[in-house]
C-alpha cells in the first residue's frame, strides 16, 4: 500500500533493503492512469514512461570477502562481550581508538546505541531534575527521550528553515536561570551553527551536548562535529553511514568526564581516574551499555569506507543542489558559511506547492515515485506537541520535580510552539536518502529530470489527481 509519509527509518529501510526497482515492481506503483499511452513526455503517474527504472544503491554496503572474514575471525575467538580496554586485545577498544583518531578527539567510548550515548552524556554531566535543556524539535525522538530519561525539561527552540538546524537566535531567547545545556542536533547530517551556539554557551555558562547521530565526519572550519561541544554523541544504527545494526559512541577531550562515562556504562565499575578516587569495586550507580566485540568488528569494516563515501555524497549533493535549485518551488538546504564538509545523511529541500500548481507534498511524492525517484516527507509529526511529553509530565518523578504550572501540557505546548519546524514537518520538507547520493553523478540527473518533469506537468497531474 502506498504511504507518502514514511517515518525516516521506514523510508530508509525501503530504499536500502529492497532497492527502488524492486519496490516499484512489488508495490502498488501509483499508476493512477496506467491505461494512458506510455511516452516520455507524459508524467509516469499519468501513464507515461518513468524517468528512471534502474534501482538505486542498497544500504548497508559490505565486502563479502575481507569484511565477512574479519567478523567471523572475531566470532571464532569466542569472546563476544567487550574484552577489556586494550586495543591489542579488544576489538571494541580498537574501534574506539580509530573513531577517536578519525574525529580528532582524545577519547571515544563505544556503547549500545546513539540513544544511550545521549543519556550517558546528560547523566554524567549531572543534568537532571529541575534542569532545562534547549533543543530543536526537528529531530528523531531519541534526542528528546534522552532529556526526559534523566528527568530534565526539554525546551524547544525553532529552526532556521533554510538550514533545517536549530536557530541560535531562538536558543538565546529560551535561556532562563534553569537552563543547563544546549543540545544541538546536526540534523540530516548538515552541521548546526556551532560557532554561534558555542558563543551563546560561553556567555551563559551552559554545557553543549552535540547530537551528531546523523553527522559522521561533517566539519565546521575543518573540525569534526561532535568534537566542538563538551561531548559528541553518535549512532551506528543500520541506516547510518557507519552502520553496525545497533551501536553508538561518545567522544570528548575531557578525560575525567570520559572516565566517568566508562564507569557508568560498565556497571559503575572503577575505571581510569576513578580507580584512585574511591575504594571498592563499584564507584557509582551504573548500567550495562557495553558494545560487543563482533559489533565493533562490523564497525571497523565500515570505517574503512566512510571517508570515500562521505566525499562522494558531498560531490553528488552539491551537483544535485546546483541543478534542482533552478526549478521554481524547490529550495535545497543551505549550509552555514563555516561548514567545510557535510555528511548528507539525507538530501533535504523545501517544496513550495504553489509553484507546482498546488500539488500537495504527498501528491508530489507520488508523482516522483512513479518517475522512479522515491523521496520522503521526513519527520511526520511535531515532537514539541506529542503525547509522550505529557506521559512524562504525569510520571511520579516529574510530579515531584516540577510545579503543576510547568507540567500543564497545554501551557507547555503553547510555550514551545515552533512554527518553522512545524511547517517543515507538515508541509515542506522533502528528503532523498543518503544511499541515492552514493550513485554516480549522472544518476543525479535522473532526480533533476524527475522533479523538472513533475514541475512542467504539475497542472496536468493536479487535474488528474483531482478528477
Ligand atoms: C538525531 C538522532 N539522535 C539520536 C538517535 C538515536 O540513535 P540510536 O537509534 O542508535 O539509538 C538517532 C537515530 O536515528 C538520530 O537520528
Per residue in 433-451, pLDDT tens? 999 999 999 999 999 999 9
Q: Is 450 helix (H, G, I), strand (E, B) or coil?
A: helix
Shortest-distance Cα residue to atom 14 of ligand 1: 140
Mean pLDDT (whole number) for 132-137: 98
Give the pLDDT confidence score for residue 43 in this predicted structure: 98
Q: Is 11 helix (H, G, I), strand (E, B) or coil?
A: helix
Instruction: Ligand 1 pocket test: pick from 7, 59, 115 the residue with the most ligand atoms within 8 Å of its Cβ.
Output: 115
Structural element, H or E, at residue 210? strand 207-211
CA of 174 to the centre of ligand 1 (A): 24
Per residue in 153-170, pLDDT tens? 999 999 999 999 999 999
Give the pLDDT confidence score for residue 15 in this predicted structure: 45
CA quadruple 116, 68, 242, 240: dihedral, nearest 10: -80
CA of 141 to the centre of ligand 1 (A): 8
**What is the number of the ligand 1 atom nearest to the C-alpha of 113?**
10
Mean pLDDT (whole number) for 326-338: 98
Q: Are 316 and 285 in contact (CB under 8 A)?
A: no
CA of 194 to the centre of ligand 1 (A): 20
Give the pLDDT confidence score for residue 20 in this predicted structure: 31
pLDDT > 70? residue 76 = yes
Please report the sign of the dihedral spanned by the C-alpha atoms of residue 47, residue 51, residue 53, residue 56: negative
Structure pTM?
Answer: 0.92
CB-ligand 1 contact for 165 (6 Å cutoff): no
CB-ligand 1 contact for 343 (6 Å cutoff): no
Instruction: Ligand 1 pocket test: pick from 118, 144, 166, 235 the residue with the most ligand atoms within 8 Å of its Cβ.
Output: 235
Q: Are 264 and 124 in contact (CB under 8 A)?
A: yes
Q: Is 332 helix (H, G, I), strand (E, B) or coil?
A: strand
> For residue 442, what are the CA distances in angstroms to 210, 315, 349, 365, 455?
35, 12, 20, 21, 20
CB-ligand 1 contact for 435 (6 Å cutoff): no
Instruction: Provide the mean pLDDT of the chain.
Output: 92
CB-ligand 1 contact for 248 (6 Å cutoff): yes
Give dist(CA 453, CA 457) in Å, integer.
6
Domains in the chain: ranges and CATH: 8-61+304-379+424-466 (3.90.1150.10), 66-300 (3.40.640.10)
Q: Lowest mean pLDDT of 6-10, 138-142, 307-311, 348-352, name the range.
A: 6-10
Give the pLDDT confidence score for residue 147 in this predicted structure: 99
Give dist(CA 444, CA 438) in Å, integer.
10
pLDDT > 50? residue 25 = no
Give the pLDDT confidence score for residue 11 in this predicted structure: 46
Specify whether the backbone of 150 is left (phi greater than 0), alpha (psi in -120 to 50) or beta.
alpha
Per residue in 102-128, pLDDT tens? 999 999 999 999 999 999 999 999 999
Q: Are 235 and 213 in contact (CB under 8 A)?
A: yes
CA of 113 to the centre of ligand 1 (A): 8
Per residue in 239-290, pLDDT tens? 999 999 999 999 999 999 999 999 999 999 988 876 665 567 899 999 999 9
Q: Lowest mean pLDDT of 3-7, 88-92, 150-154, name the range.
A: 3-7
Give the pLDDT confidence score for residue 17 in this predicted structure: 36
pLDDT > 70? residue 2 = no
Per residue in 77-105, pLDDT tens? 999 999 999 999 999 999 999 999 999 99
Instruction: Ligand 1 pocket test: pick from 214, 345, 376 the residue with the most ligand atoms within 8 Å of its Cβ.
Output: 214
CA of 376 to the centre of ligand 1 (A): 18
CB-ligand 1 contact for 213 (6 Å cutoff): yes
Shortest-distance Cα residue to atom 12 of ligand 1: 213
**What is the number of the ligand 1 atom nearest to the C-alpha of 185?**
1
Structural element, H or E, at residue 454? helix 441-456
Q: What share of the chain is helix, strand, coil (3-state, %, to 5)?
A: 45, 15, 40
- The beta strand positions in 95-198, using DSSP E, are 107-111, 132-135, 153-156, 159-160, 165-166, 179-183
CB-ligand 1 contact for 214 (6 Å cutoff): yes
CB-ligand 1 contact for 332 (6 Å cutoff): no
Q: Are 133 and 398 in contact (CB under 8 A)?
A: no
pLDDT > 70? residue 465 = yes
Distance linking the first and last C-alpha atoms of the chain: 21
Give the pLDDT confidence score for residue 278 in this predicted structure: 57
Amino acid at each position: 500500500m502506498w504511504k507518502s509519509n514514511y517515518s525516516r527509518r521506514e523510508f530508509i529501510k525501503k530504499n536500502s533493503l529492497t532497492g527502488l526497482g524492486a519496490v516499484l515492481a512489488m508495490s502498488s506503483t501509483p499508476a493512477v492512469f496506467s491505461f494512458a499511452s506510455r511516452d516520455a513526455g507524459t508524467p509516469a503517474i499519468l501513464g507515461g514512461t518513468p524517468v528512471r527504472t534502474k534501482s538505486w544503491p542498497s544500504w548497508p554496503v559490505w565486502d563479502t570477502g575481507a569484511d565477512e572474514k574479519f567478523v567471523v575471525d572475531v566470532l571464532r575467538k569466542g569472546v563476544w562481550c567487550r574484552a577489556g580496554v586494550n586495543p591489542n586485545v579488544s576489538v571494541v577498544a580498537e574501534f574506539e581508538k580509530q573513531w577517536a583518531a578519525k574525529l580528532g578527539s582524545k577519547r571515544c567510548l563505544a556503547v549500545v546505541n546513539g540513544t544511550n550515548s545521549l543519556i550517558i552524556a546528560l547523566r554524567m554531566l549531572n543534568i537532571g531534575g529541575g534542569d532545562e535543556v534547549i533543543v530543536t524539535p526537528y529531530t528523531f525522538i531519541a534526542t528528546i527521550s534522552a532529556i526526559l530519561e534523566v528527568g530534565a525539561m526539554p525546551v524547544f527552540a525553532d529552526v532556521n528553515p533554510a538550514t533545517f538546524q536549530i536557530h541560535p537566535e531562538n536558543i538565546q531567547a529560551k535561556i532562563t536561570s534553569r537552563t543547563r545545556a544546549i543540545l544541538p542536533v546536526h540534523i540530516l547530517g548538515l552541521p548546526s551553527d556551532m560557532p554561534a551556539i558555542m558563543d551563546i554557551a560561553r556567555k551563559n555558562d551552559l554545557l553543549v551536548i552535540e547530537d551528531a547521530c546523523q553527522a559522521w565526519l561533517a566539519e565546521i572550519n575543518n573540525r569534526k562535529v561532535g568534537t566542538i561541544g563538551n561531548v559528541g554523541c553518535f549512532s551506528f544504527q543500520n541506516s547510518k553511514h557507519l552502520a553496525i545494526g545497533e551501536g553508538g559512541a561518545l567522544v570528548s577531550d575531557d578525560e575525567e568526564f570520559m572516565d566517568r562515562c566508562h564507569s557508568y556504562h560498565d556497571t559503575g565499575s572503577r575505571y581510569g581516574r576513578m580507580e584512585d578516587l574511591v575504594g571498592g569495586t563499584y564507584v557509582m550507580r551504573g548500567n550495562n551499555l557495553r558494545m560487543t566485540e563482533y559489533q565493533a568488528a562490523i564497525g571497523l569494516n565500515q570505517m574503512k569506507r566512510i571517508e570515500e563515501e562521505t566525499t562522494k555524497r558531498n560531490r553528488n549533493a552539491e551537483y544535485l543542489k546546483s541543478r534542482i535549485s533552478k526549478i521554481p518551488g524547490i529550495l535545497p538546504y543551505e549550509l552555514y558559511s563555516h561548514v567545510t564538509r557535510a555528511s548528507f545523511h539525507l538530501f533535504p529541500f523545501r517544496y513550495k506547492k504553489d509553484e507546482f500548481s498546488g500539488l500537495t507534498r504527498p501528491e508530489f511524492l507520488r508523482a516522483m515515485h512513479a518517475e522512479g525517484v522515491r523521496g520522503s516527507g521526513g519527520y511526520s509529526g511535531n515532537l514539541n506537541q506529542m503525547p509522550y511529553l505529557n506521559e512524562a509530565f504525569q510520571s511520579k518523578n516529574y510530579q515531584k520535580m516540577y510545579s503543576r504550572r510547568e507540567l500543564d501540557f497545554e501551557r507547555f505546548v503553547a510555550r514551545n510552539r515552533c512554527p518553522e519546524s512545524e511547517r517543515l514537518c507538515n508541509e515542506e520538507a522533502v528528503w532523498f536518502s543518503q544511499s541515492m547520493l552514493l550513485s554516480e553523478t549522472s544518476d543525479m540527473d535522473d532526480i533533476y529530470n524527475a522533479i523538472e518533469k513533475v514541475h512542467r506537468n504539475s497542472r496536468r497531474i493536479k487535474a488528474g489527481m483531482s478528477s
